[in-house]
Homo-oligomer: A and B are copies of this chain.
Amino acid sequence: MFQNVKSIRISDQIATQIRHLLLEGKLKPGERLPTESELAEKFGASRASVREALSALESEGLVERRKNGGTILRRFSLNRVLSDVEFPRKLDRELFFDLVEAREMLEIQIVELASKRADRIDLNRIERALEVMQEDISMNRNGIESDILFHQCLAAATKNQILTGLSRSIGHMMQKTRARTLEVPGRLDECLQEHRAIYEALASHDAELARRLIKAHLAQVRLIMDELDLEKGEP
């Protein structure tokens, strides 16, 4: 009934404005922003606030700052890929299935590529993710975090930032649903076994096997999702 009101930081407002200007095309990638002092003046704020905004934008990958070169708008940034897609937050029923389909494609490609590129460090990381899930099971936790961690480690092994970012973002959007599938009794154990098998395939650089395994894994997830869907009816 009542809208939650709260003060909005100046630095946030500045960052938001710049993000919007980028989306609307009034600021173009590759261009240079005015100097911090000029921005401060134009926004009617202090340089410190402008700098905080730029820090945020920088860590989002939208801008790049150089000692004397000013602040430039980056050409290729993950956020710009995602901002359009992530936009429909409502997740219609139809859109949700599109999302599931896109995720399956993405994950399959990721695993295939990862099985070619994974080095010792990646494999160690994945191993650790498996341990975390094992721990989740014995501690009786739901395991969604370790599930996400595993898939994130897979994506990282491709060494491709765009794919990694996409995986993270799409995986995050489906977090709730995945959590529900993991609640099914015994599912977490199964999941761990499937993950382990995928890991083995990766470790032996068997792309074809890895591909088959992740496909089976995702098919399993989808199956459970469908079952849950029939019972409850609504995401």
Interface residues of A (CB under 8 A from B): 7, 11, 15, 29, 48, 51-53, 55-61, 64, 67, 74-90, 92, 94-96, 98-99, 101-102, 105, 109, 121, 125, 145, 148-149, 152-153, 155-156, 159-166, 168-173, 235
Contact = CB atoms under 8 A, between A and B. Distances in A.
Contacts of A163: 98, 101-102, 105
Contact of A102 (B51, B79, B160): B160
A152 B55 contact: no
A152 B86 CA distance: 12
A102 B166 contact: yes
Given A76-B173, A82-B149, A105-B109, A156 B96 contact: no
A77 to B, nearest CB: 8
Contact of A162 (B95, B145, B161, B164): B95
A74 B56 contact: no
B101 A160 contact: yes
A203 B94 CA distance: 26
Contact of A92 (B76, B78, B87, B105): B76
A198 to B, nearest CB: 18
Given A59-B56, A160-B101, A163-B102, A149 B78 contact: yes
Given A56-B56, A59-B56, A76-B96, A82 B160 contact: no
Contact of A75 (B60, B74, B105, B235): B235
Contacts of A78: 145, 148-149
B76 A152 contact: no
A153 B90 CA distance: 18
B79 A92 contact: no
A105 to B, nearest CB: 5
A87 to B, nearest CB: 7
A64 B90 CA distance: 11
Contact of A52 (B51, B82, B102, B235): B51
Contacts of A83: 152, 155-156, 161, 164-165, 168-169
A87 B55 contact: no
B235 A82 contact: no
B169 A85 contact: yes
Nearest to A121: B86
